[in-house]
């Protein structure tokens, strides 16, 4: 049996980790929690607060909450879809691409250690040939940087290291990693 | 129709000639450009633009516009114009393939024409000074594999050639497998550029301070016993009067040079321009003397002047092999060559944008280009041409002197002509 006191501490710790200081208008877990039914019914497999955190991380969708699908919560689910959209764009890795700043220099493509692992050409400063490996993270399309897949990103795959090579090396500051 | 993917296409957006471009094609039209920077992408995408020049034209009357004509009629008119000209000037040759450059130089010899080349005076001075000191250029592969200190002197390469740093500084090389972690980037420039933003050693100076920076660097290296001043031929060292901040940064640069195994020096547009070289007549001489002395003292320092027109290096190699009968001037001197009866053969050059408008009125121009420019608008005779590297092939020379085979993704249309074919046509008709 889980000690209730420990459970609250655990929840609070998770909430603290994912609550962000809202200096740039970034949403936090409380903003998401407010729109949930708050029934704590566990039909999604967890209580409402941890579900709010999972929504923010992008690991759950609003549709994963069965009560939210009821007509009386229609406005709530719409609001939630808007709230978690930036989080989805940020992906579970926290990587945000500023397309306006990007000039297609390709530093992210060849500096990313995952790109180098799956595309040998990146080891000598060349972008990979098509078909691009499924596991590559970055590619250039029509002069702009694009994320192909985050499946192997070191920020996403356990043990989830704080790799920031793309952010540090981007000459145009077009890549931002939100923790 | 499914997409066809073409790899290893060479981009002719700038002198870097990136050969890792991948294009998605459908119906012989470019759909998506992969692996190219914004600059290169725009050139590839222009190949399908409705603004491309398509039809030859002839202007029969000064007061009337140009009318569409067949290629044969336009060629006959062009050859007649060139044969009867009192004076012919050929411009824009640095934007042609290697084969077309060879033909252009042959044509210039045949017509006793003058080649007007942008930055020619600067390049001539650089080449003569390098030759005098026996220096060598480095290739991009050498920079990638060996360089651990890359010094950009007066070069804002991030804006002018976005992928240059990708291929040299940020990539992993054979002997520098940790990439940027073991490579240092140093920038000396007149103002804080985006390239300087990313540098490990940033030296922002006034334009007048480059000589002083060089003197301070020499003094710092000599003090650390890395450079033997006795190896320097130039004794007029000038003053090293700098602000304390700049002086401290120069000492950091000297330390980095002392610790490096292979330093590359890229000379950029802030140095390689006529105004700077006129104001600092001995700077190049002193810099190359210093680099030679460092090499003689067993510190490897290699040099590369940065010119960004996509086949400038090819033209310089061609002129180096050409006979002394070829007359070449800097594009800035073009107005002095204009007399009544002058005909200008503009090969992908928009020279009208670069000289005073008053000198341009009434000029007879034969223009060969793929896009509309003020020069093509003014042209007496116009030949639309393929875009070399996109819908016609050939070879081009990268800024480090390596020739690359272009791999055009678009199949040339039957009635389209490349720069080489048009020039060959002119040469053949001239001989008839």
CA diameter of chain A: 58
Burial class of residue B301 in the structure, from the number of CB atoms within 10 Å of its CB (0-12 exposed, 13-18 middle, 19+ buried): buried
Burial class of residue B71 in the structure, from the number of CB atoms within 10 Å of its CB (0-12 exposed, 13-18 middle, 19+ buried): middle
B252 in Cβ contact with B298 (< 8 Å): no
Rounded distance between C-alpha atoms, residue B72 and residue A86, angstroms: 60
Rounded distance between C-alpha atoms, residue B207 and residue B266, angstroms: 17
Orientation angle between helical segments A4-18 and A48-57, nearest 10 degrees: 30
B337 in Cβ contact with B329 (< 8 Å): yes
Q: What is the pLDDT of residue A173?
A: 92
CATH fold of B57-119+310-430 reads Rossmann fold (3.40.50)
> Residue B45: closest CA among chain A residues belongs to which residue?
A142
B81 in Cβ contact with B381 (< 8 Å): yes
Decide if A124 and B38 are in contact by the 8 Å CB cutoff. no
Rounded distance between C-alpha atoms, residue B200 and residue A49, angstroms: 45
Cβ-proximal residues to A68 (8 Å cutoff; 6+ apart), any chain: A36, A37, A62, A76, A77, A80
Using a CB-CB distance cutoff of 8 angstroms, which residues of chain A are in contact with residue B37? 103-106, 140, 143
Select from A99, A105, A138 the residue whose CB has the most chain B CBs within 10 Å, as the one to mutate to test that interface.
A105
What H or E segment, with its residue span, contains residue B185? strand B184-189
Question: Running DSSP on this structure, what letter comes out for residue B332?
Answer: G
Distance from the Cα of A102 to chain B's closest Cα (Å) equals 9
Q: What is the pLDDT of residue A92?
A: 63
> Residue A126: closest CA among chain B residues belongs to which residue?
B20
A110 touches chain B (CB under 8 A): yes
3-state secondary structure (DSSP) of residue B336: helix
Decide if A125 and B41 are in contact by the 8 Å CB cutoff. no
Q: What is the pLDDT of residue B305?
A: 92
Using a CB-CB distance cutoff of 8 angstroms, which residues of chain B are in contact with residue A127? 20-22, 34-35
Decide if B35 and A103 are in contact by the 8 Å CB cutoff. no
Please give the C-alpha separations between residue B429 and each of B75, B309, B422, B426, B432, in angstroms, as whole numbers.
Answer: 8, 30, 11, 5, 5
In this prediction, residue A91 has a pLDDT band, given cuts at 50, 70 and 90, of low
Using a CB-CB distance cutoff of 8 angstroms, which residues of chain A are in contact with residue B152? none
Decide if A122 and B170 are in contact by the 8 Å CB cutoff. no
Rounded distance between C-alpha atoms, residue B344 and residue B363, angstroms: 8
Residue closest to B320 by CA, chosen among B167, B113, B131, B146 = B131
Q: What is the pLDDT of residue B202?
A: 94
- For chain B, the structural domain boundaries read 4-48, 57-119+310-430, 123-305
In this prediction, residue A21 has a pLDDT band, given cuts at 50, 70 and 90, of very low
In the numeric block, which tokens belong to residue B88? 């012919």
Decide if A142 and B179 are in contact by the 8 Å CB cutoff. no
Burial class of residue B429 in the structure, from the number of CB atoms within 10 Å of its CB (0-12 exposed, 13-18 middle, 19+ buried): middle
Q: What is the mean pLDDT of chain A?
A: 80
Q: What is the pLDDT of residue B323?
A: 63
- Residue percentage of chain A with pLDDT more than 70: 79
User: pTM of the entire structure?
Assistant: 0.82
What H or E segment, with its residue span, contains residue B308? none
Rounded distance between C-alpha atoms, residue A85 and residue A40, angstroms: 24
3-state secondary structure (DSSP) of residue B250: helix
Decide if B144 and A124 are in contact by the 8 Å CB cutoff. yes
B58 in Cβ contact with B380 (< 8 Å): yes
Select from A113, A117, A125, A144 the residue whose CB has the most chain B CBs within 10 Å, as the one to mutate to test that interface.
A125
Greatest mean pLDDT among A85-89, A152-156, B334-338, B372-376 lies in B372-376
> Residue A169: closest CA among chain B residues belongs to which residue?
B170
3-state secondary structure (DSSP) of residue B58: strand
Please give the C-alpha separations between residue A141 and each of A145, A164, B204, B306, B316, in angstroms, as whole numbers.
Answer: 6, 22, 34, 27, 33
- Who among A123, A131, A142 is closest to B33 (CB)? A142
Q: How long is chain A?
A: 179
Using a CB-CB distance cutoff of 8 angstroms, which residues of chain A are in contact with residue B33? 141-143
A103 touches chain B (CB under 8 A): yes
Q: What is the mean pLDDT of chain B?
A: 91
Residues of chain B with pLDDT under 70: 62, 235-238, 323-324
3-state secondary structure (DSSP) of residue B194: helix
ipTM of this model?
0.87
Using a CB-CB distance cutoff of 8 angstroms, which residues of chain B are in contact with residue A108? none
Decide if A171 and B194 are in contact by the 8 Å CB cutoff. yes
Q: DSSP for A38-81? A: -----TTSS-HHHHHHHHHHTSS-GGG-GGGGSGGGHHHHHHHH
Rounded distance between C-alpha atoms, residue B285 and residue B287, angstroms: 6
Please give the C-alpha separations between residue B358 and each of A12, B354, B361, in angstroms, as whole numbers.
Answer: 76, 12, 6
Using a CB-CB distance cutoff of 8 angstroms, which residues of chain B are in contact with residue A112? none
Rounded distance between C-alpha atoms, residue A42 and residue A37, angstroms: 11
Torsion of CA B354, B358, B362, B368, to 10 degrees: 10
Rounded distance between C-alpha atoms, residue B3 and residue A165, angstroms: 33
| B25 phi, psi to nearest 5 deg | -115, 145
Angle, CA of A79, A84 and A86, to the nearest 5°: 120
Q: What is the pLDDT of residue A16?
A: 39
Alpha helices in chain A (DSSP H): 4-18, 29-34, 48-57, 74-90, 107-111, 113-118, 165-169
CB pairs under 8 A between A and B: 110
In the numeric block, which tokens belong to residue A168? 């540090």
3-state secondary structure (DSSP) of residue B221: helix
Count of beta carbons in the 10 Å neighbourhood of residue B275: 8
Residue with tokens 């016609």, as numbered in its chain? B392
Decide if A125 and B144 are in contact by the 8 Å CB cutoff. yes
Over residues A71-81, mean pLDDT:
90
The CATH H-level superfamily of B123-305 is: Dimethylsulfoxide Reductase, domain 2 (3.40.228.10)
> Residue A120: closest CA among chain B residues belongs to which residue?
B172
A124 touches chain B (CB under 8 A): yes
- Who among A110, A111, A143 is closest to B36 (CB)? A143
């Amino acid at each position: 049996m889980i000690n209730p006191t420990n459970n609250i501490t655990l929840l609070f710790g998770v909430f603290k980790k994912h609550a962000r200081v809202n200096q740039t208008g970034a949403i936090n877990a409380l903003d998401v929690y407010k729109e949930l039914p708050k029934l704590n019914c566990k039909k999604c497999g967890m209580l409402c607060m941890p579900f709010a955190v999972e929504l923010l991380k992008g690991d759950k969708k609003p549709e994963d909450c069965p009560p939210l699908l009821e007509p009386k919560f229609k406005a709530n689910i719409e609001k939630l879809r808007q709230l978690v959209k930036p989080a989805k764009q940020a992906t579970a890795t926290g990587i945000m691409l500023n397309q306006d700043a990007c000039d297609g220099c390709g530093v992210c493509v060849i500096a990313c250690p995952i790109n180098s692992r799956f595309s040998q050409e990146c080891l000598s400063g060349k972008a990979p040939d098509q078909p691009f490996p499924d596991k590559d993270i970055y590619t250039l399309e029509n002069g702009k940087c694009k994320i192909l897949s985050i499946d192997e990103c070191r920020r996403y795959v356990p043990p989830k290291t704080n790799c920031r090579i793309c952010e540090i090396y981007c000459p145009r500051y077009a890549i931002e990693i939100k923790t | 129709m499914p997409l066809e993917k073409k790899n290893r296409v060479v981009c002719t957006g700038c002198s870097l000639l990136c050969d890792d471009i991948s294009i998605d094609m459908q119906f012989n039209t470019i759909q998506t450009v992969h692996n190219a920077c914004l600059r290169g992408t725009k050139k590839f995408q222009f190949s399908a633009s409705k603004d491309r020049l398509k039809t030859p034209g002839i202007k029969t009357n000064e007061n009337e516009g140009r009318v569409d004509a067949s290629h044969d009629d336009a060629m006959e008119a062009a050859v007649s114009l060139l044969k009867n000209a009192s004076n012919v000037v050929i411009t824009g040759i640095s934007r042609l393939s290697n084969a077309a450059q060879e033909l252009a130089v042959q044509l210039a010899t045949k017509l006793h024409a003058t080649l007007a080349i942008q930055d020619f005076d600067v390049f001539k001075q650089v080449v003569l000074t390098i030759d005098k000191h026996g220096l060598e250029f480095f290739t991009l592969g050498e920079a990638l594999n060996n360089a651990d200190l890359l010094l950009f002197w007066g070069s804002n390469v991030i804006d002018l050639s976005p992928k240059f740093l990708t291929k040299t500084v940020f990539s992993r090389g054979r002997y520098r497998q940790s990439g940027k972690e073991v490579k240092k980037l140093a920038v000396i420039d007149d103002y804080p550029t985006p390239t300087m933003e990313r540098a490990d050693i940033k030296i922002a100076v006034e334009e007048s301070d480059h000589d002083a920076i060089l003197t301070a660097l020499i003094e710092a290296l000599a003090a650390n016993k890395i450079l033997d001043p006795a190896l320097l031929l130039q004794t007029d060292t000038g003053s090293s009067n700098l602000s304390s901040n700049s002086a401290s940064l120069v000492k950091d640069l000297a330390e980095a040079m002392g610790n490096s195994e292979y330093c590359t020096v890229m000379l950029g547009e802030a140095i390689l321009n006529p105004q700077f070289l006129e104001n600092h007549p001995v700077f190049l001489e002193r810099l190359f003397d210093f680099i030679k002395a460092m090499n003689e003292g067993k510190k490897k320092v290699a040099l590369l002047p940065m010119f960004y027109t996509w086949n400038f290096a090819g033209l310089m190699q061609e002129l180096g092999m050409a006979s002394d009968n070829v007359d070449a001037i800097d594009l800035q001197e073009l107005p002095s060559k204009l007399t009544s009866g002058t005909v200008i053969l503009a090969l992908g050059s928009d020279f009208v944008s670069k000289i005073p408008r008053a000198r341009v009125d009434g000029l007879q121009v034969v223009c060969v280009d793929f896009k509309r420019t003020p020069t093509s608008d003014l042209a007496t005779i116009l030949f639309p041409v393929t875009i070399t590297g996109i819908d016609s092939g050939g070879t081009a020379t990268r800024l480090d002197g390596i020739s690359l085979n272009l791999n055009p993704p678009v199949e040339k249309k039957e009635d389209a002509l490349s720069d080489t074919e048009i020039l060959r046509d002119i040469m053949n008709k001239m001989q008839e």
